[in-house]
Homo-oligomer: A and B are copies of this chain.
Amino acid sequence: MCLMSDQAVFRRKSMSMLEAETRQELHKYCRSWRRNGQRIALVPTMGNLHAGHLALVKAARGLADRVISSIYVNPTQFGKGEDIERYPRTLEADRLALAQAGCDLLFVPDIETIYPFGLENAVMIGAAPDLSSTLEGQFRPGHFDGVVTVVARLFNLVSPDVAVFGEKDYQQLLIIQRMVDDLAYRIRIHAVPTVREHSGLALSSRNSYLDKSQLETAQYLQAVLRDTATRAGEAGVELSVLEAQAAIQLREHQLAVEYVSIRRAQDLATPNDNDQDLRILAAVRCGKTRLIDNLKINRACNSGG
């Protein structure tokens, strides 16, 4: 453990998971691993980890020799009036869960480490306009710019071989993949299916805001999407009709609909009759809590068209 001995700044936490707070500490570990020919997977998170995050870490274990997870509640992806202060922070529990899931290194930077010149003078990256202006982008302006801005910093800090993201944030996944492709990052993006409660509710840190009655209501988000996705898979159906019906059903379950939309899976464009890989995506409010979910649609070939 020669790495351990040479500076007090390197700390070893529970279950032999390393921890870094600064760019220098992080680089020291990464450099050492890379020199030994080890491949690195990165799992960026905002903490308050649940089984969905841990599925990312477990997937990462199978993709690389070393897994780095970051916990950073990124201010640039929260809009005005959004819940950054309220966002749940559970570092001690997260640390234990990551170590148990096989994470090798936890990176927990402070704001000066990620934004050393301050938020006002930060170099910001603009998410691809076509992918980011729709759906979430209409309700959370600037959100995806903040996401790609912090992800690019993490990519540059770690230089991972692969980075792992969840399909729960499907639009984010496409936007990060696009950033990689457009900016020419040499990083593979690996997507992990959404982890769900027994009820079908997609795991989310924001579920912790829901009371028991809201948790029961919230499950209808996925139930309606699942039902709609099944019907959308049939040949010859009118997608806009299904979208409208889904919105009505969600409202009947006291879920305030921001959007429910069936899009082409690869680029979120409005599907034409020949597109078979579709995705249904929705955002609702359950009480004050905003929930998103999405499901794959395999559409049968339309006859005619």
Contacts and interface: CB of A to CB of B under 8 A. Distances in A.
A121 B159 CA distance: 25
A183 interface: yes
Interface in A125-158: 125-131, 148, 152-153, 156-157
A124 interface: yes
Contacts of A182: 115-117, 122-123, 153
Given A117-B128, A122-B128, 17 more contacts: A27-B186, A115-B182, A116-B182, A117-B181, A120-B129, A120-B130, A121-B131, A122-B182, A123-B125, A123-B127, A123-B179, A124-B125, A125-B126, A126-B126, A153-B182, A156-B185, A157-B184
Nearest to A129: B121
A157 B183 CA distance: 8
B156 A123 contact: no
Contacts of A13: none
The contact size tier of chain A is 20 to 34
A182 to B, nearest CB: 4
A28 interface: no
Nearest to A127: B123
Contact of A178 (B117, B181, B183): B117
Of all A-B residue pairs in the complex, the 7 with the closest CB atoms, nearest first, are A156-B184, A123-B182, A121-B130, A124-B126, A157-B184, A156-B185, A123-B179
A23 interface: yes
Tell me the number of copies of this protein. Answer: 2
Given A125-B125, A126-B123, A126-B124, A152 B117 contact: no
Contact of A184 (B121, B153, B178): B153
A117 B129 CA distance: 11
A156 B180 CA distance: 9
A59 to B, nearest CB: 24
A268 to B, nearest CB: 12
Contacts of A23: 184
A20 to B, nearest CB: 13
Interface in A146-177: 148, 152-153, 156-157, 159
A27 B186 CA distance: 9
Contact of A123 (B27, B116, B178): B178
A261 B157 CA distance: 36
A16 to B, nearest CB: 26
5 contacts: A121-B129, A121-B130, A122-B128, A123-B179, A152-B183
Interface in A3-42: 23, 27
A152 B120 CA distance: 21
Interface centre among A127, A128, A153 (most CB of B within 10 A): A128
Contacts of A117: 128, 130, 178, 181-182
A156 B156 CA distance: 9
